[in-house]
A and B are shown apart, each in its own frame.
Chain A
Amino acid sequence: MTYIAKPKFQHPGLPKNDLGYTHRDYEGKISTLCAGCGHDSITASIIEACYELSIEPHRVAKISGIGCSSKTPDYFLGNSHGFNSVHGRMPSVLTGANLANRDLIYLGVSGDGDSASIGFGQFAHSIRRAVNMTYIVENNGVYGLTKGQFSATADRGSKSKKGVTNTDNAIDLVAIALQLGASFVARSFSGDKTQLVPLIAAAIQHKGAAFIDVVSPCVAFNNHAGSTKSFDYVREHNDAVNRLDVITGRDPITVDYAPGTVQVVEQHDGTRLALRKLDADYDPHDRLGAMTFLQKHAAKGQIVTGLLYVDPDSEDLHSHLNTVDTPLNQLGEKTLCPGNNALEKINASLR
């Protein structure tokens, strides 16, 4: 752990966003993770995405569980709301917070232990309920805090640092999220910020359950030969299906794309995503196709990355429940508890 605080000085020519903030204004405390941890790069990507979107920090709630990954919200958005919850319970706390105040941007940060083991059920239910959130799993395939046992996302046949081969089948959280109806599903790699930053930005703008699985090498326990989540392995087996540019506002698309290579996706709130196809046959609107594609490539040992599925007409839990537009936490007690007469009326209507 670094002992000194990160110096306050910043590059004098650093660009500013629409709010007049530099990316440094979106930082949190200095990381206490191991030097070189992939999670720190994800932290940097979240900072960059929030800076690019000119998000007001006080409009973000960052919620996490337990684990190396769940410590990271301390390292970004130091001026945002935060809740470091119980192991595996991030999705429930986030769901509750979202129900109480639908106006905030919800960032759920979790890891492979937190989401694929102890919190597997919680993860599943928040996705199927379509909670409006960006759910990021910082996936390193090991339990780093307890010195490197395989986690549930470790690939069968991969080797631990001590040379033990994993005999259990891996949970692919992307496949599960697709199956459970997530309306935005992506996978990326902590070592590829040019891919990851726009994915996080797009997910933040997405209405509904947006899920990103980020392969994030654990330099201490899972970055050796035989690991399938090491820097070298992921770089060699990364099969990106597309690259994303997030277009904010109503500006015309000025980037010059070769014809036929770009698919523009307009999301619910009017933001647009320009998807540069790398795999001509890949259709990010086809949920079943995506699932098949994933399985086929996984069988070949490839890690499929990019925006794998997006539903432009997505809905969220609030639209399903038909809640009022005003966040519940802003309603007065009288509105929230209309009294005995109102209760009598409801009861009468059910008799």
Chain B
Amino acid sequence: MKPTDISAPDYFHKVVDCQWACPAHTPVPEYIRLIAEGRYSDAYMINWRSNVFPGILGRTCDRPCEPACRRGRVEETPVAICRLKRVAADFKDDVKDQMPKLAAKNGKRVAIVGGGPASLAVARDLAPLGYHCTVFDSDPKAGGMMRSQIPKFRLPDSVIDEETGYILDLGIEFKGSHRIDSLKKLLGENYDAIFVGSGAPRGRELELPGGKEAAANIHIGIDWLSSVSFGHTTKIGKRVIVLGGGNTAMDCCRTARRLGGDDVKVIVRSGFEEMKASPWEKEDAIHEDIPILNFMVPVAFVHDNGKLTGVTFQKVKAEYDAKGKRNLVPSGERDQTIDCDDVLVAVGQENAFPWIERDCGVEFDKWNMPKVDPKTMGSTNAKVFFGGDAAFGPKNIIWAVAHGHDAALSIHKLLSGEDINERPLPEVQISSQKMGIHEWSYDNDISSDKRYKVPHRDKVIALKDIRTEVELGYDVKLALGEAQRCLNCDIQTVFTAPLCIECDACVDICPMDCITFTPNEDETDLRQHLKAPSPHHDQALYVADGLKTGRVMVKDEDVCLHCGLCAERCPTGAWDMQKYLIDMTHAGSSCPSKARSAA
């Protein structure tokens, strides 16, 4: 195998599994250490720079970081990264003075359509650089789906107000209750660039027999949630069926429980395991006495002269073809009708761009989606950019933020007269953490604690009021315990072959048998000859040559605890623990691009 080039920014970035998995590449271990130190404001600001909405995401994020967390490969459960983020938001001091200062305007104007996470991320990145940003939203307040679709018992308004406030206070013009009906018209207003972050606002309908007649009691999930959110809807029937298995369905059923639904069921076509909802959201629903029935396909709405009385389901089972593709086929059991007073349909969301004229330079594909470059977020109209659900269909908040950063960078480069396809390299810092012979600037003693549960409010109280937040968040003590579970994967094991005397001390001490000294081979063979099995081929092997015996040092990054014992037991300092910080380039960063540094 070729020796590893550890100077490539991506190599060590991938070792920090959580940060690599985060669309916005939040430096997770760094802020978790700050939480452990009680430096909540600093932890918050690190998050704020990367993901813009720490308090909101700390309650609602889809957490792609957690399935990636190394701890999940070492023991049963990953670190509760998401809820630690909330800790930073909950316990921080006033951070207003740490926010960017109002910038002198540079004379350039950017129109931002929609006031959701992608749009606000763009505004936040651009406003401090002097751009005049105007955000349009059809709702009176900023926040988009975070405000309209996420129930208040998961995300209180106060958190949204605070975090949208930090952004709007940067000198952004927010035009609420102002729907944009025509892109052409907006283009005519001579903005220097336009960002479209209008979301995926249309809930998919379910066209079944009886649907038209019983329409009064059949509601589209996201519309119903937003109607509840703005206080237009305040009650629902006693017996409610929620159709769909995603996170919107989970929000619908739990909301229904709080508006008078005593007997709420979620009914899904697929199996329970394949449901799209996050496992923790399913858990929370079940905890609130909501059964989830699976392998049932709705076939008709039953009504009595237009008054909904139930839904009829066909029972199915999963069959897998030779390619492993799943098909739902009738199980042969009799259809079942389940009585209900209301149905909430949460079977997916769609994009809708009736307001974008097809002749204004923005091209659409055969699925009626705009053609968007996933790197620059640019459309076929050089001035128009997309992000969030509007770009590639429904995803989640953290992806929207990532899109926002990318789009803001493109807009900044465009308006600075640069090529938007040339993306600057991230800024990387790496520095030794050695403080003494066996002392490091981080706590390398590995905690063997199991994942701490986040305390919940008593169910009886929680179900009484739709605005009462269910999760109470970690207290300081629990947060410290959970923070200690982090393996500090950003403190990298860095090997300097010329210093190595091949004494085997690192091999002998490594608790996870990560290190092997062996003759070099190609990767497949090398993985066979390591000290411990190497089942995860997506996890890199760190290979270094230049040893006196002609062998190579191979370290399987897979389950390294970053405990630093290899470096502590190394007599010559060939191993060192070095903190690796990668700053993704946002608009306005000064880091030179690849082309410039080559020039």
Q: Inside 8 A of B118's CB, which chain A residues have their CB?
A: none
- Choose the segment among A33-41, A205-213, A307-315 that binds chain B (4+ C-beta atoms closer than 8 Å): A33-41
Q: Please give the distance in Å from B128's CB to the nearest CB on chain A.
A: 43
Q: Compute how far the CA of A217 lies from the CA of B532 in the bound complex, rounded to whole angstroms.
A: 27
- Choose the segment among B263-271, B416-424, B490-498, B560-568 that binds chain A (4+ C-beta atoms closer than 8 Å): B560-568
- A-B interface pairs (CB < 8 A), number: 101
Q: Inside 8 A of A15's CB, which chain B residues have their CB?
A: 533
Q: Inside 8 A of B565's CB, which chain A residues have their CB?
A: 2, 4, 6
Q: Say whether B75 faces chain A, with CB atoms less than 8 Å apart.
A: yes
Q: Are A191 and B532 in contact (CB under 8 A)?
A: no
Q: Compute how far the CA of A321 lies from the CA of B571 in the bound complex, rounded to whole angstroms.
A: 48
Q: Please give the distance in Å from A8's CB to the nearest CB on chain B.
A: 6
A44 and B502 contact, Cβ closer than 8 Å, known pairs A34-B571, A36-B572: no
Quick one: closest B residue to A13, CB to CB?
B533
Q: Compute how far the CA of A12 lies from the CA of B445 in the bound complex, rounded to whole angstroms.
A: 20
Q: Inside 8 A of B559's CB, which chain A residues have their CB?
A: 11-12
Binary flags per residue of A108-150, CB closer than 8 Å to B gives 1, else 0: 0000000000000000000000000000000000000000000
Q: Say whether A43 faces chain B, with CB atoms less than 8 Å apart.
A: yes
Return the contact of B444 from the options A4, A14, A34, A219 (Cβ within 8 A): A4
Q: Say whether A20 faces chain B, with CB atoms less than 8 Å apart.
A: no
Q: Inside 8 A of A38's CB, which chain B residues have their CB?
A: 503
Q: Say whether A237 faces chain B, with CB atoms less than 8 Å apart.
A: no
Q: Which residues of chain B from 532 to 586 have any CB-CB distance to chain A below 8 Å in the complex?
A: 532-533, 535, 548-549, 559, 561, 563, 565, 568-572
Q: Say whether B73 faces chain A, with CB atoms less than 8 Å apart.
A: yes
- Count chain A CB atoms within 10 A of each CB in B448, B501, B570 and give the residue with the most: B501
Return the contact of A43 from the options B439, B508, B535, B563 (Cβ within 8 A): B508
Binary flags per residue of B495-517, CB closer than 8 Å to A gives 1, else 0: 00000011111011101111000
Q: Are A36 and B569 in contact (CB under 8 A)?
A: yes
Q: Please give the distance in Å from A140's CB to the nearest CB on chain B.
A: 12
Q: Inside 8 A of B561's CB, which chain A residues have their CB?
A: 7, 9
Q: Compute how far the CA of A255 lies from the CA of B448 in the bound complex, rounded to whole angstroms.
A: 41
Q: Are B503 and A231 in contact (CB under 8 A)?
A: yes
Interface size class of B (residues with CB under 8 A): 35 or more
Q: Please give the distance in Å from A133's CB to the nearest CB on chain B.
A: 24
Q: Say whether A232 faces chain B, with CB atoms less than 8 Å apart.
A: yes
Q: Say whether B216 faces chain A, with CB atoms less than 8 Å apart.
A: no
Q: Inside 8 A of A235's CB, which chain B residues have their CB?
A: 548-549
Q: Say whether B382 faces chain A, with CB atoms less than 8 Å apart.
A: no
Quick one: closest B residue to A43, CB to CB?
B508
Q: Are B505 and A36 in contact (CB under 8 A)?
A: yes
Q: Which residues of chain A from 235 to 255 have any CB-CB distance to chain B below 8 Å in the complex?
A: 235
Q: Please give the distance in Å from A138's CB to the nearest CB on chain B.
A: 14
Q: Are A3 and B438 in contact (CB under 8 A)?
A: yes
Q: Inside 8 A of A13's CB, which chain B residues have their CB?
A: 532-533, 535
Q: Please give the distance in Å from A295's CB to the nearest CB on chain B.
A: 28
Q: Are A7 and B571 in contact (CB under 8 A)?
A: no
Q: Are A41 and B505 in contact (CB under 8 A)?
A: yes
Q: Inside 8 A of A156's CB, which chain B residues have their CB?
A: none
Q: Are B568 and A2 in contact (CB under 8 A)?
A: yes
Q: Say whether A10 faces chain B, with CB atoms less than 8 Å apart.
A: yes
Q: Please give the distance in Å from B552's CB to the nearest CB on chain A.
A: 16
Q: Are A191 and B508 in contact (CB under 8 A)?
A: no
Quick one: closest A residue to B443, CB to CB?
A4
Q: Inside 8 A of B444's CB, which chain A residues have their CB?
A: 4
Return the contact of A35 from the options B512, B548, B571 (Cβ within 8 A): B571
Q: Say whether A81 faces chain B, with CB atoms less than 8 Å apart.
A: no
Q: Are B508 and A9 in contact (CB under 8 A)?
A: no
A4 and B503 contact, Cβ closer than 8 Å, known pairs A14-B532, A40-B569: no
Q: Which residues of chain B from 439 to 463 have any CB-CB distance to chain A below 8 Å in the complex?
A: 439, 444-446, 448
Q: Say whether A70 faces chain B, with CB atoms less than 8 Å apart.
A: no
Q: Inside 8 A of A191's CB, which chain B residues have their CB?
A: 502-504
Q: Inside 8 A of B511's CB, which chain A residues have their CB?
A: 6-10, 24
Q: Inside 8 A of B445's CB, which chain A residues have their CB?
A: 4-5
Q: Say whether B74 faces chain A, with CB atoms less than 8 Å apart.
A: yes
Q: Compute how far the CA of A17 lies from the CA of B31 in the bound complex, rounded to whole angstroms.
A: 42
A41 and B503 contact, Cβ closer than 8 Å, known pairs A6-B509, A11-B532, A232-B548: yes
Binary flags per residue of A9-31, CB closer than 8 Å to B gives 1, else 0: 11111110000000010000011
Q: Inside 8 A of B549's CB, which chain A residues have their CB?
A: 235
Binary flags per residue of B426-438, CB closer than 8 Å to A gives 1, else 0: 0000000000001
Q: Compute how far the CA of A30 lies from the CA of B504 in the bound complex, rounded to whole angstroms.
A: 15
Chain B contact residues, majority secondary structure? loop
Q: Inside 8 A of A31's CB, which chain B residues have their CB?
A: 509, 569
Q: Inside 8 A of A258's CB, which chain B residues have their CB?
A: none
Q: Compute how far the CA of A204 lies from the CA of B535 in the bound complex, rounded to whole angstroms.
A: 34
Q: Inside 8 A of B439's CB, which chain A residues have their CB?
A: 3
Q: Are A35 and B502 in contact (CB under 8 A)?
A: no
Q: Say whether A223 faces chain B, with CB atoms less than 8 Å apart.
A: yes
Q: Compute how far the CA of A13 lies from the CA of B527 in the bound complex, rounded to whole angstroms.
A: 13
Q: Please give the distance in Å from B78's CB to the nearest CB on chain A.
A: 14
Q: Say whether A299 faces chain B, with CB atoms less than 8 Å apart.
A: no
Q: Are B512 and A11 in contact (CB under 8 A)?
A: yes
Q: Say whether A193 faces chain B, with CB atoms less than 8 Å apart.
A: yes
Q: Please give the distance in Å from A27's CB to the nearest CB on chain B.
A: 9
Q: Say whether A1 faces chain B, with CB atoms less than 8 Å apart.
A: yes
Quick one: closest B residue to A24, CB to CB?
B511
Q: Are B448 and A8 in contact (CB under 8 A)?
A: yes
Quick one: closest B residue to A11, CB to CB?
B532
Q: Compute how far the CA of A261 lies from the CA of B219 in the bound complex, rounded to whole angstroms.
A: 82
Quick one: closest A residue to B444, CB to CB?
A4
Quick one: closest A residue to B445, CB to CB?
A4
Q: Inside 8 A of B448's CB, which chain A residues have their CB?
A: 7-9
Q: Are B503 and A219 in contact (CB under 8 A)?
A: yes
Q: Inside 8 A of A6's CB, which chain B residues have their CB?
A: 509, 511, 565
Q: Inside 8 A of B571's CB, which chain A residues have their CB?
A: 34-37, 219
Quick one: closest A residue to B512, CB to CB?
A11
Quick one: closest B residue to A217, CB to CB?
B503
Q: Inside 8 A of B532's CB, which chain A residues have their CB?
A: 11, 13-14
Q: Inside 8 A of B509's CB, which chain A residues have their CB?
A: 2, 6, 30-31, 40
Q: Compute how far the CA of A232 lies from the CA of B549 in the bound complex, rounded to whole angstroms.
A: 9
Q: Compute how far the CA of A80 lies from the CA of B234 in the bound complex, rounded to whole angstroms.
A: 70
Q: Compute how far the CA of A190 lies from the CA of B502 in the bound complex, rounded to whole angstroms.
A: 11
Quick one: closest B residue to A9, CB to CB?
B74
Q: Compute how far the CA of A150 lies from the CA of B509 in the bound complex, rounded to whole angstroms.
A: 29
Q: Inside 8 A of B514's CB, which chain A residues have their CB?
A: 11
Binary flags per residue of B309-322, CB closer than 8 Å to A gives 1, else 0: 00000000000000
Q: 12 additional contacts, CB 8 Å, given A4-B444, A24-B511? A: A6-B511, A6-B565, A9-B446, A10-B512, A11-B514, A35-B505, A35-B569, A41-B504, A43-B508, A223-B501, A232-B548, A235-B549
Report 28 cross-chain contacts, Cβ distance below 8 Å, ordered by A residue: A2-B509, A2-B568, A3-B439, A4-B445, A4-B446, A5-B445, A6-B565, A7-B448, A7-B511, A8-B448, A10-B512, A11-B514, A13-B535, A30-B509, A36-B570, A36-B572, A38-B503, A40-B509, A40-B569, A41-B504, A41-B505, A44-B504, A190-B504, A191-B504, A219-B503, A231-B502, A231-B503, A232-B548
The 8 nearest A-B residue pairs measured at CB: A36-B571, A13-B533, A7-B446, A44-B508, A11-B532, A4-B445, A36-B503, A219-B571
